[in-house]
Chain A
Amino acid sequence: MKTKWKISPYLYLLPALVIVIAFRLIPIVMSFILSFYNWSIQGTGDFIGLTNYIAMFKDKIFWQSMSNTFWLVIIQVPASIVFSLFFAVLLNKIKYLKSLFRIVYFMPFVTSLVAVSIVWKLIFAEQTGLMNTFLGYVGISPQGWLSESRGIFLMMFQDLGIKLNLPQFFHGPSQALFGIIIMTVWKGLGYNTIIYLAGLQNISKVYYEAAEIDGASKNRQFWNITLPLISPTTFYVLIMTTIVSFQTFAQIYLMTDKGGPLNTTKLIVYYIYEKGFDLLEMGYASAIALTLFILILALTIFQRRMEKHVNY
């Protein structure tokens, strides 16, 4: 029967193919081309070669938003992995109320980022927000969750009475960005927890039974059985969370004043948006977008390579 197909497979493929080519492939190629033009929103521009890229490397705000994004990813991804694995292990243990907890943990993930950002902006409000109210109960003074531009490492050292004489990058993410990180971890936790839970349920009980007989403690069982056997899931979560985390946009748009204070919450995708649609420098914005693409691609390939080395 397989000889019958000639033209018809292509007809079946055609609708999807047209859309994928027209609205994925062509824009991606266009984005590459645009990055060599000084394209404006009027829809015209001249070929200017590598000028956009050169300007980008000299652009302080570009580097600032790169370093902001770096801190976001480097803190948010591990935090998300640790917390979600922790909750998944706990959820995997319990007998009752399992589905209730799953619903509760999953709720932030299905709700819209816009509504959730607006609420968190209120929660983080300096004088009146829920966060500082709660911190007040335990005797911590109000924090500038969305308004403090000093880096969190700098602040920690200052509290210890040590002056940090390092370039700004090493001051860490600003406390404002740290607020965004907390909220973003909260938002995505449910998905990763569910993924881990599915992974944990796939681990055969035999291993634990054998370990039990050998007298291995629960702690050792976790480090020597669970963690290695869950590593494929960890890699999936790592790659997905990294890619998503690089694309953080709505939180910045809704919770901060254009990536402020002092550009410390300006993330790379927000900067692309700002350059492209606020300042109408679409060619320049495309150059940044393409740089981001190459960065994400390289990271993904690197993580895949690592996975092959570590996989059990």
Chain B
Amino acid sequence: MNKLRSTITYLVLAIFGLTMIVPFIWMLTTALTTQSEFNKHETIFIPKEEYHVWNHDGQVDRILLVMQKEQTSVIHVLDEKLNIAQEYIEVPSLQVELVRKKPSLHFENFSKAFKKVPFGLYFYNTLYVSFMSLIGVLITSLLAAYAFARMEFKGRDLFFYLFLSMMMVPQPIYMISSYVLLDKLHWLDTYNALIVPWMANIFTIFLFRQHFMGLPQELFDAASIDGCSVFGMLWRIVIPLSKPIIATASIFSLISSWNSFMWPLVMINRPELRVLQVGLSYFNQEASTQTTLLMAASTFSIVPILILFFFAQKQIIASYAKTGLKD
């Protein structure tokens, strides 16, 4: 009975697990299929390829079969780039062969997508914006959290509640006014628009504050006796003891800026400042018929985050799990 129960559990988890990853598998396999093969919509998951060749005098040419009769067939002969080189040639049917390749993987879709759209540049922009925001977030959050956690000053609670209430406001609410504000600052269409507003993260401040409050007071007392300055304590005691939580916050920050979409979509117009997500969305509009290239680009855009995820999955999942636990 117990065995049956656990088998069913595994089965259910596996079936739904499959629905979780099937879209990714499809994304990748479509990215590796040729467009003409994809348009046939015969294959799912294992990219295959079927085409006719004309095998004559030891020479094999790719062809398009126009009409096949018992004795002779009418064909178009294709050149290397699969453009039609010779039209309507009549050849013996015996020389026409069907080639089936399975699997037939077309990695050139990735380079083709790169030729259409400067994804390398978008990649660089995303990295730059993500890391600059990360540096900003770490500096502002460490300082502010240190003040909130280990110092007493007038208005501390007031500032604390100000931050807390600001955290609750969803981004779309202040999107339009931020646009107006950044316009007044002449920051639209600059990196500043993507970086500076995101150089403070209130959630990270609270995360750090929580951790800093748990550090033993004795450490600070001892350091104080040794003549350590206030900033020295942050640098020499707090930060070294907070490496795991700093790593956690960094991962949150990187993932969210890598995936952020609406903000850069609105704030940036110049193509050379586009981040990966925005570049991909424009490609989605322009290349709606080039499905396989679109999938190649999509695959490319999620790979960095997936690599980060697979290497640090334990820490990442544990960190996200902690966000739900209340203190």
Contacts and interface: CB of A to CB of B under 8 A. Distances in A.
B323 to A, nearest CB: 7
Contacts of B298: 114-115, 118-119
Given A13-B147, A16-B140, A289 B277 contact: no
Contact of B170 (A10, A90, A237, A296): A296
A274 to B, nearest CB: 12
Nearest to A268: B172
Interface in A242-265: 243, 246-247, 249-250, 253-254
B151 A5 contact: yes
Nearest to B40: A128
A130 B29 CA distance: 13
Given A27-B174, A198-B322, A254-B284, A13 B169 contact: no
A205 interface: no
Given A12-B147, A16-B205, A19-B199, A34 B170 contact: no
Contacts of A141: none
A132 to B, nearest CB: 10
A31 B178 CA distance: 8
Interface string A1-34: 1101100111011111101101111111011001
Contacts of A286: 176-177
Contacts of B171: 247
Interface residues of A, number: 95
A122 B266 contact: no
Contact of A15 (B140, B183, B261): B140
A25 B197 contact: no
Q: Is the interface of A mostly helix, strand, loop or mixed?
A: helix
Interface stretch (B10-18, B71-79, B85-93): B10-18
A94 B197 contact: no
Instruction: Name the residue in B6, B136, B262 with the highest tally of chain A Cβ atoms < 10 Å from its Cβ.
Output: B262
Interface string B236-256: 000000000000000000010
A149 interface: no
B221 A43 contact: no
Interface stretch (A58-66, A95-103, A164-172, A219-227): A95-103
Interface in B189-210: 196-197, 199-200, 202, 205
In this complex, the interface size class of chain B, counting residues with CB under 8 Å from chain A, is 35 or more
Contacts of A24: 166, 169, 174, 202
B179 A119 contact: no
A233 interface: yes
B281 A198 contact: no
A297 B148 CA distance: 26
A15 B144 contact: yes
A31 B144 contact: no
A71 interface: no
B230 A26 contact: no
B120 to A, nearest CB: 17
A106 B202 contact: no
Interface string A250-291: 100110000000000000010011001100001001100110
A12 B162 CA distance: 16
A19 B281 contact: no
Interface stretch (B56-64, B102-110, B309-317): B309-317
A216 interface: no
B66 interface: no
Contacts, number: 271
B262 A249 contact: yes
A15 B173 contact: no
Contacts of A87: 13, 16
A286 B316 CA distance: 36
Contacts of A178: none
Give the interface centre of B220, B261, B310 by most chain A CB atoms within 10 Å: B261
A204 B97 CA distance: 69
B184 A43 contact: yes
A144 interface: no
Nearest to B147: A12
B163 interface: yes
A277 B266 contact: yes
B294 A293 contact: no
A156 B262 CA distance: 35
Nearest to A255: B284
A195 B26 contact: no
Interface of A: 1-2, 4-5, 8-10, 12-17, 19-20, 22-28, 30-31, 34, 39, 43, 87, 90-91, 93-94, 97, 99, 101-116, 118-120, 122-123, 127-128, 130, 133, 186, 189-191, 194-195, 197-199, 202, 232-233, 236-237, 243, 246-247, 249-250, 253-254, 269, 272-273, 276-277, 282, 285-286, 289-290, 292-293, 296-297, 300
Given A105-B20, A199-B325, 19 more contacts: A2-B152, A5-B151, A5-B152, A9-B147, A12-B143, A16-B143, A19-B197, A20-B163, A20-B200, A30-B180, A31-B173, A31-B174, A93-B9, A94-B10, A101-B13, A116-B23, A194-B320, A243-B170, A249-B262
Interface of B: 6, 9-10, 12-13, 16-17, 19-24, 26-27, 30, 41, 44, 136, 139-141, 143-144, 146-148, 151-153, 156, 159, 162-163, 166, 168-181, 183-184, 196-197, 199-200, 202, 205, 220-221, 224, 230, 255, 258-259, 261-262, 265-266, 277, 280-281, 284, 291, 294-295, 298-299, 301-302, 305-306, 309-310, 313-314, 316-317, 320-326
24 contacts: A1-B221, A12-B147, A15-B143, A16-B163, A20-B166, A26-B177, A27-B181, A28-B177, A43-B183, A87-B16, A101-B13, A106-B316, A110-B309, A110-B316, A112-B301, A112-B305, A113-B261, A116-B302, A120-B23, A186-B20, A199-B325, A246-B170, A289-B176, A293-B170
